[in-house]
Structure 1
Amino acid sequence: MTASDRTPADLLRSALTADPGRPLVTFYDDATGERVELSVATFANWVAKTSNLLQGELSAEPGDRLALLLPAHWQTAVWLLACSSVGVVAEVDGDAAAADVVVSGPGTLDRARACGGERVALALRPLGGRFPQPPAGFADYAVEVPAQGDRFAPYAPVDPDAPALGIGGIQLSGAQLVERAREDAAALGLTPGARLLSGRPYDSWDGLSAGLFAPLAAGASVVLCRNLGELADGGLEKRVGSERVTHTVA
């Protein structure tokens, strides 16, 4: 959000300085009826705790690769920013066997077991709930993250020009990611205070950009909708009104 921001973590710090109380991510899962709204401050707190877990408990270092096997979800957004904070490369839908760390949802545990390093599982239950029984061989994110510190400082400075994100065969540094997010925000017409509703999955750059990075770069917020097809007739229009949405992408 400032000209000097060169990583997604920089963008989040600027957002926290500018207006910590404004909404940043509002998440809906229309298959379960879940709605979660995170202010900049609350989202940043989750990122700090997750970054401490990643760096401290999981011993991740800058340049390590993390296979992120999660759908479009507010907790996925948290992990993306935590990776940026530590300097870990987030490989979205990446090869678990080639990763140093894997973070998996309940539907990808079999794939995630190919990782020979640290494994973390998310139940993706409402309000960040834990698994009734933790999957064997995995740390339960909902159990591990609450005890982590509310402030984060990386052991080593994060290089903006180092690899930061892998998605669909695209590799981006932190600086390249921020630049593309700014370009996308401009193309979408996002300005500070805008509200972008995105129903795109997190399986492409377009989905990640609309569902997180472009709004963050613009000082805007995102209404992230999973399973948008489950909405009843007229439901989308009602949501656009109730959430004061200014921009929409399918």
Structure 2
Amino acid sequence: MTAPFAADALTPAELLRAALGEDPARPLVTFYDDRSGERVELSVKTFDNWVAKTANLLQDELNAGPEDRAALLLPAHWQSAVWLLACWSVGVTAVPGGDPAETELVVSGPDGLAAAEACTGERVALALRPLGGRFPQRPDGFLDYAAEVPGQGDRFAPYSPVVADSPALETVVDGLPLKLTGEQTVRLAREGAARLGLERGSRVLSTLSYDDWAGLEAGLLAPLAAGGSVVLCRNSEELTDDQWQRRIEAERVTVRLG
């Protein structure tokens, strides 16, 4: 029997480090926006570099730490995946789709800016434009992620060690709210990978939202826990069966969800 990927990893950040150590050049996240025509593919190394820069922004510029919670008002997008791993690298609890009024900071795409104003702490806006572009005009009261992140360091070390039994994720599982530690998040991700039949090299295509566990599992965590990769597709409702089939073949997809 093949040994499970990164069997000793206890947090999502440790899963990413294990992937980096095993094969930094392999694809980890591929993203399609079928409205803009964008396609982005990030290797493990490139993804990790974005995570490090974002984690440094969180820790040094936003003064976020293990006691903080971040509402992530973001779609399933490659930059959303980066923010999740950055939160877990710092020790910040990620709350996808959370109430900004109840968190210390908020990270929002263009569609969530009005709701994000309820946060009295730090606010970060993501334009979600092709090539990670900036807003044409920075939203008032927000940092523009695309303007702030390039100058951050390429390596990250947390000021406080991230403990596996500390809070990491607040999400919804089967309609019920659930608070997970880093260790519990990894365990559920491994269980999901086993249920989906994922293994090293598996390629999962997902159109699911990150606002609940099903989308997080399919679109990031189960593939990461298995040593596989993910193809995220956004605004893909108009694709025909033939177009889907061509994409599945071109991307060597092994599992399609959503």
Q: TM-score, normalised by structure 1?
A: 0.98
- 3-state DSSP class of the match of 1:114? coil
Q: Distance in 1 between matches of 2:68 and 2:96?
A: 14
Aligned positions of 1:128-139 closer than 5 A? 128-139=132-143
Pairwise mapping of residues 74-153 of structure 1 onto structure 2 (< 5 A)?
74-153=78-157
In the alignment, does 2:222 pair up with 1:214? yes
What is aligned with 1:33? 37
1:8 lines up with 2:12 in the alignment: yes
Contact 1:201 1:226 survives alignment (8 Å): no
SS of corresponding position for 1:155: coil
1:177 aligns with 2:181: no
CA distance in 1, matches of 2:235, 2:247: 14
Matched, 1:67 2:75: no
- Find the residue that maps to 2:231 and give its secondary structure: strand
| Counterpart Cα distance in 1 of 2:181 and 2:41 | 29
Tell me the residue number matched to 1:24: 28
Residue 197 of structure 2, aligned match among 189, 192, 200:
189
Cα offset, 1:223, TM superposition: 0.6
How far is the alpha carbon of 1:76 from its aligned partner?
0.3
Q: For 2:196 and 2:206, locate their aligned partners in 1 and report how far apart those are by CA, in whole Å.
A: 12
Gaps of 5+ in 2: none
Cα deviation, residue 63, structure 1: 2.1
For 1:7 and 1:199, locate their aligned partners in 2 and report how far apart those are by CA, in whole Å.
25
Distance 1:150 1:9 in 2: 15
Work out the CA distance in 2 between the residues paired with 1:203 and 1:230: 22
CA displacement at 1:233 relative to structure 2: 4.0
Unaligned stretches of 5+ in structure 1?
none
- Structure 1 moving runs of 4+ over 3 Å: none
CA distance in 1, matches of 2:215, 2:105: 23
The answer as to whether partners of 1:196 and 1:222 remain within 8 angstroms in 2 is yes
2:257 paired with 1:249: yes
Q: SS of the residue aligned with 2:237?
A: helix
**Is residue 2:169 matched to residue 1:162?**
no
- In the alignment, the residues of structure 2 paired with residue 117 and residue 199 of structure 1 have an alpha-carbon distance, to the nearest angstrom, of 31
Indicate conservation of the 8 Å contact 1:31/1:230, yes or no: no
Match of 2:238 in 1: 230
CA distance in 1, matches of 2:34, 2:238: 6
Instruction: State the alpha-carbon separation in 2 of the partners of residues 232 and 196 from structure 1.
Output: 19
Amino acid in structure 2 at the alignment position of 1:193: G
The offset of 1:232, in angstroms, is: 3.2
Equivalenced residues, count: 250
Distance in structure 1 (CA, Å) of the matches to 2:155 and 2:238: 38
SS class of match (2:24) = coil
Q: Which amino acid in structure 2 is aligned with residue 187 of structure 1?
A: R
- For residue 158 of structure 1, report the CA deviation from its aligned partner: 0.5
Q: Counterparts of 1:63 and 1:15 in 2: how far apart (Å)?
A: 27
2:117 maps to amino acid: R
Percent identity between the aligned chains?
66
Shift of 1:3: 1.8
1:203 is matched by which residue type in structure 2? D
Question: Would you say the 8 A contact 1:164–1:172 is kept in 2?
Answer: yes
Kindly state the Cα deviation for residue 228 of structure 1 after the two structures are TM-superposed: 2.1
Whole-Å separation in 2 of the counterparts to 1:235 and 1:203 = 26
Quick check: 1:194–1:220 contact (8 Å CA) kept in 2?
A: yes
